[in-house]
Each structure stands twice: as structure tokens, then as C-alpha cells.
Homo-oligomer: A and B are copies of this chain.
């Protein structure tokens, strides 16, 4: 059994890791830390875990964590970078669900996250944990930077076109809608039900922190600089991300459909829907799937890709467990055969 630790177990990605790992046949969750709730039983905060997780939250402690085989960071940005180096030195695999190791450029990171990076030297070693792009590297990684939720939906959506140079990279648009759980489990007025229920808005249009991450990823796929406009929105639901992607191409829709189906044929967690389909976030709610479809409205040059994920699963905890499975040589979908909750 793999001994797993979770740092930051009281947030939504932390409790989602618990939901998945509690039933993972090869994992034993050995420690769950929380600075705010140390001492409290995990299942008293999350009664849905009663009978499955028999632990109390503990204070994060290097010695204890160092006895794990793998440690997940489900923490706010700026925490994992303080502890990763020491854990790695003890031979612990580190899987970070925060943004600390996602950007390769430490200065760029500082600019967007408003603090100095604590261990810029690790950035080169960190593997960006998108299995559909970096599977082999993840298998040998010691430190995985799990992609953000928006970046996962957007990169998977654009991937086959960019890899094949089929898009005009000077005018990419990603209009993306997220459920409110993406904002995390924090005491804030802006995400109260009275504020977000029955309402829809864009936010951070001038520049969202996921923009440099997406751009970095798309440029690696395209092998060239890209010009991306990224507009995130908050939609009145709890889970789910829907990316509507726009690009200009001269390829035909039939060819592109074939290309997508072929590119993702052996991917367990990317599902290209039949032509004419519209993916719906409910069909991936609670599951690790990314479902997508491709359209070319009115036969014009503007292509539309629709890509949906559950932000807490494929956009966070599920993708992290997928990376863990790869690292430890397990079946990639172990513990991740979870069907979407519909209705």
C-alpha cells in the first residue's frame, strides 16, 4: 500500500482527494493536515466521510510527512514551495495541486502571484501533470505540478489543432465558465449563495492567474508564441467547467473530428463526442472525464471547441491521482472509475 499524506485537507480539493483516495485499492491515507482544524476528526467536518476516513486533522509536520510515499498539497498558493524541497530530499513524491510549480519562469510566477518564489531551482524539475501531454515524464517525476482547472479544459480542447499547426495562433479565444467551487472553501462575501446564486458574470477579464499557465502550455503544443484572449466567468452551480474555444482554421470539420478522435483514442479520460454533440458539465460531474465536441458554425472559418470537466476532479484531485497512479506504476484509472452523478 502507498502511504499518502494530504497537506491542506480542509479545502474542496483536499476533501475531494479524500473522497477518491478513501476507495483507492492501493492507497492508505496516513495523514491529513490542517492548520485551522488540527485536532478535529476529519469526518466531523465532512460527515460524508464517516466510516471511510478514520483520522483527525494534524498540524503539518515535516517528520510525519516524510514517512509518506507521496504527499499531495491541496493548499493555497505559496505553501507547497516551502516544504517540497525537504520532502523530496526524503524521497517523498510530491504532487502539488496549487500553482507553485506550474510556471517555468520564476519571475513570471512572481508577477502573477505577488510573492517571491521560494525554490526557483525546482521549477525546471517539476513535471506539469497533464498526462495527455506529459505521460512519460510524469511516470518518472518526483515533483508534479498539477494543472489548474481552467488550463486543463482549455489545453485539452486546443491540443490536437495546435500540435498539428492547424490554427491561426494570432487570435485564440477561450471563453470559460466555472462553477463556484473553483473559488475554494473560504469565508468570502463574493461567493455566498446570495451573491452567486441566480446570477452570472465574468471576472478578472483584464488578467487571470491562469492566463500565463495556459499560454505556456499552448505555446509548447504549438511550438510558437500564441495570442490568447482568456475570459473566465462564474456560473451559478457548484461543480463544472465549460470551455468554449474559438480559433480560425482552414481545415475541414470532418478532418478535425477525425483528428480529435484519433489523438484521444487511447486516452482513458478524454472523450470526443460524436459530431453535432454538445457536452454538458453534468455528464462529468464527480468523474475524471473530459468530454468535448467540435463545431464549425455555418461552415465559416471560425472553429468552436466545447470542452467540459469537473473542476475538482479532472481539474484538480482526480488528475492528481491519475499522476500518482502513473508515478507508482499502477493502472492509470485505478480508483478513478467513478461515474458522473446524474441528475
Q: Which residues of A contact B (CB under 8 A)?
A: 12, 15, 19, 22-23, 44, 46-52, 171, 173, 175, 177, 179-181, 183, 185-189, 191-203, 205-207, 211, 227, 229-231, 233, 235-240, 242, 244, 246, 248, 271, 273-274, 276-287, 291, 295, 297-298, 300, 302, 304, 306, 308, 337, 339-343
- The contact of A192 among B180, B200, B240, B339, by CB within 8 Å, is B180
Q: Is the CB of B205 within 8 A of A343?
A: no
Q: Is the CB of B201 within 8 A of A198?
A: no
Q: Is the CB of A244 within 8 A of B193?
A: no
Interface centre among A48, A183, A211, A278 (most CB of B within 10 A): A48
Q: Is the CB of B50 within 8 A of A271?
A: yes
Q: Is the CB of B285 within 8 A of A199?
A: yes
- The contact of A49 among B22, B186, B339, by CB within 8 Å, is B339
Q: Is the CB of B22 within 8 A of A193?
A: no
Identical copies in the complex: 4
Q: Is the CB of B51 within 8 A of A271?
A: yes
Given A175-B175, A202-B242, A207-B298, 5 other A-B residues pairs in contact with their CB atoms under 8 A:
A52-B339, A177-B233, A201-B278, A205-B297, A238-B343
Q: Is the CB of B229 within 8 A of A177?
A: no
Docked pose: A193 CA to B206 CA in angstroms: 25
Give 7 CB contacts A-B under 8 Å: A23-B339, A180-B192, A197-B198, A199-B237, A202-B244, A233-B242, A238-B343
Docked pose: A284 CA to B281 CA in angstroms: 21
- The contact of A300 among B44, B185, B229, B308, by CB within 8 Å, is B229
- The contact of A180 among B47, B186, B193, B291, by CB within 8 Å, is B193
Set of chain B residues within 8 Å of A233, measured between Cβ atoms? 177, 242, 244
- The contact of A47 among B235, B236, B291, B306, by CB within 8 Å, is B291
Chain A to chain B: the 7 pairs with minimum beta-carbon distance, closest first: A48-B340, A199-B282, A194-B343, A201-B280, A193-B193, A48-B283, A175-B175
Set of chain B residues within 8 Å of A285, measured between Cβ atoms? 48, 198-199, 341
Give the Cβ gap from A269 to chain B, nearest Cβ, in Å. Answer: 10
Docked pose: A178 CA to B283 CA in angstroms: 20
Set of chain B residues within 8 Å of A230, measured between Cβ atoms? 297
Q: Is the CB of B271 within 8 A of A244?
A: no
- The contact of A19 among B237, B277, B342, by CB within 8 Å, is B342
Q: Is the CB of A237 within 8 A of B238?
A: no
- Supposing A173-B173, A242-B201 touch, asked if A193 and B297 sit within 8 A by C-beta, the answer is no
Docked pose: A51 CA to B282 CA in angstroms: 16
- Supposing A248-B171, A286-B286, A341-B286 touch, asked if A198 and B198 sit within 8 A by C-beta, the answer is yes
Q: Is the CB of A181 within 8 A of B297?
A: no
- Supposing A205-B278, A339-B22 touch, asked if A200 and B173 sit within 8 A by C-beta, the answer is no
Give the Cβ gap from A290 to chain B, nearest Cβ, in Å. Answer: 12
